[in-house]
Amino acid sequence: MDVSPLQVRTLPTAPYADQKPGTSGLRKKTYVFETKQDYLQNFIQSVFSSIDLRDRQGSTLVIGGDGRYLNKSAIEVIVQMAAANGIGRLVIGQNGVMSTPAVSCVIRKIKAIGGIILTASHNPAGPSGDFGIKFNISNGGPAPEAVTDNIFQISKTLEEYAICPDLRVDLSTIGKQSFDLENKFKPFTVEIVDPVESYANMLRNIFDFSVLKEMLSGPNHIKIRLDAMHGVVGPYVKKILCEELGSPANSAINCVPKEDFGGHHADPNLTYAADLVETMKGGEYDFGAAFDGDGDRNMILGKHSFFVNPSDSVAVIAANIFSIPYFQQTGVRGLARSMPTSGALDNVAKATKIQLHETPTGWKSFGNLMDAGKLSLCGEESFGTGSDHIREKDGLWTVLAWLSILATRKQSVEEIMKDHWQKYGRNFFTRYDYEEVDADAAYKMISDLEAVMSDKSFIGQKFSVGEKMYQVQKADNFEYSDPVDGSVSRNQGLRIIFTDGSRIIFRLSGTGSAGATIRLYIDSYEKDPQKMYQDTQDMLAPLVDIALKISQLHQKTGCSGPTVVM
Ligand code: G16
């Protein structure tokens, strides 16, 4: 197919100095769709310019998105620009759709130099929703700081971008399309692939599908309910859980990806997945799960909506890890959680003598540890769990991990969770989000708090609420030295650690799209079996009081309470 010559177009004169392009590596602006003219073109040209010209011809990039509004039109522009920039080959999910875990899987499988993911993750979609662009590198994970900084530097001075404006790609037909370009770069190929196939194949090699099939469709099958929330994961659920593992069609709902996620907020938590929670309360289903827009997050529920806290979820998987055949082959190289995630995983690591890593929020540090062979399983409190099978968190993998545990233990979700607490103790955990806070007030509150915490007299201070008394043992701003590349990440969150191990953590979100989001995390360990089943909010109320008192959060930001409690 012949296309018109490459064009070089001028970008708006004002450089993008104030906008770090939104890769997840550049977390500050990840999900903000900048409305400045040609933002997409600037971002993509900066990514391509960061790849040495000599390497582009022989290279392959994987492209996919979560199907939200602008997904397809953005991919059409990316294809035109890839051609003009001399990229040899693109592999794209059919109709431009591919889940984040699947992109990671395909990058690794075909040894691509990286991938571009069009997603704003768990944030709302549609014409008035969010949009984002992510750049992943050849290990299948989010680009590290060194790469994103380079892209950012390029973006600041970029004046032009290259494009083949007449190149028309057919995103709907599976197969190869070749384009002869009237320039020195040729041929340019685009391969449209089934977005589910490689990913499903990977899962077949990780889990025992015959055991899962028996549990989901055999004579004594359990009943499950999976809510794809009109995000990208619907076709994966249908193909893998329903077609292949035999779960009836009505066990999977909201499976057609929509540009606006059906007007819902595709974020799997008790607030936004309320429909699933309601349905599960009825007791008809034994197991439930919901996913976010791009398929990397998950929420696990048991019968009657028994909620599995994500920090507990990764701990349970760790404690039962050999229910998953993959780990029988690889062994367990290490466990990891992000700093604000509860210490539930630490209890398992301690008991099993497996090395535990505590990393900054986000998936990048996990990827480094995995590449270095130091990490097998990891998770975050924000509904993310995953393993070294790819370099992103993985919602559907987590569901199959839980189902494998259910199959091995022949117990319900609730029984498994309660047994776990009896054995390891329970970490009560909650997160308060204060969204759309005035940014200046939020930064000031955090810096004032850091000043209070840095005062020598703060260590040893006692705080009492009712009968409860907590004494400060340690207070700092979390810092992480990456044991693999030696990089140091500072200012990762303020931690107040008490003598009984309870923790209060404050940090500013890196993914919000309006104002600032303050996150307050509370984590408290309990080993008294009598108190094990108490209500989380009741148990943690004294620590919440102390956190608000020390930080003066409400007074300093004008907030009267959190917008979301998890
Ligand atoms: C939030 C969560 C993090 C998570 C990040 C990206 O970041 O708190 O745990 O890693 O989103 O999640 P996703 O890959 O699903 O977009 P923050 O900085 O807003 O707290």
> What pLDDT was estimated at residue 31?
31
How far is C-alpha 463 from the geometric centre of its chain's CA atoms? 35
pTM of this structure: 0.92
CB neighbourhood size of 7 (10 A):
14
Residue with CA nearest ligand 1 atom 8: 382
Domain 8-194 is of which CATH architecture?
3-Layer(aba) Sandwich (3.40)
Ligand 1 centre and the CA of 344: distance in Å? 19
> What pLDDT was estimated at residue 6?
66
How far is C-alpha 49 from the geometric centre of its chain's CA atoms? 27
d(CA 100, CA 336): 20
For the Cβ of 482 lying below 6 angstroms from any atom of ligand 1, the answer is no
Q: Highest-confidence range of 16-30, 380-394, 488-502, by mean pLDDT?
A: 380-394
Ligand 1 atom with least separation from CA of 297: 15
Q: Choose the residue to mutate in 382, 478, 507 for probing ligand 1, maximizing ligand atoms within 8 Å of C-beta.
A: 382
Residue 351 has pLDDT above 90, yes or no: yes
For the Cβ of 123 lying below 6 angstroms from any atom of ligand 1, the answer is no
> What pLDDT was estimated at residue 29?
29
Between these two residues, 255 and 121, which has the higher pLDDT value? 255
Ligand 1 centre and the CA of 202: distance in Å? 25
> What pLDDT was estimated at residue 440?
93
Ligand 1 atom with least separation from CA of 517: 19
Average pLDDT estimate for 346-369:
96
d(CA 411, CA 409): 5
For the Cβ of 427 lying below 6 angstroms from any atom of ligand 1, the answer is no
For the Cβ of 519 lying below 6 angstroms from any atom of ligand 1, the answer is yes
For the Cβ of 121 lying below 6 angstroms from any atom of ligand 1, the answer is yes
For the Cβ of 379 lying below 6 angstroms from any atom of ligand 1, the answer is no
User: Are 140 and 108 contacting, i.e. CB atoms less than 8 angstroms apart?
Assistant: yes
Domain boundaries, the chain: 8-194, 199-424, 426-565
Summary count for the chain: helices (H), strands (E): 18, 26
Residue 14 has pLDDT above 50, yes or no: no
Domain 199-424 is of which CATH architecture?
3-Layer(aba) Sandwich (3.40)
461-513 confidence digits (pLDDT tens) = 999 888 888 999 999 999 999 988 888 999 999 999 999 889 999 999 988 76
The reply to whether 426-565 shares the fold of 199-424 is no
For the Cβ of 380 lying below 6 angstroms from any atom of ligand 1, the answer is yes
CATH domain 426-565 topology: TATA-Binding Protein (3.30.310)
Ligand 1 centre and the CA of 360: distance in Å? 11
Ligand 1 centre and the CA of 218: distance in Å? 38
User: Are 6 and 84 contacting, i.e. CB atoms less than 8 angstroms apart?
Assistant: yes
217: its two tokens: 């469709």
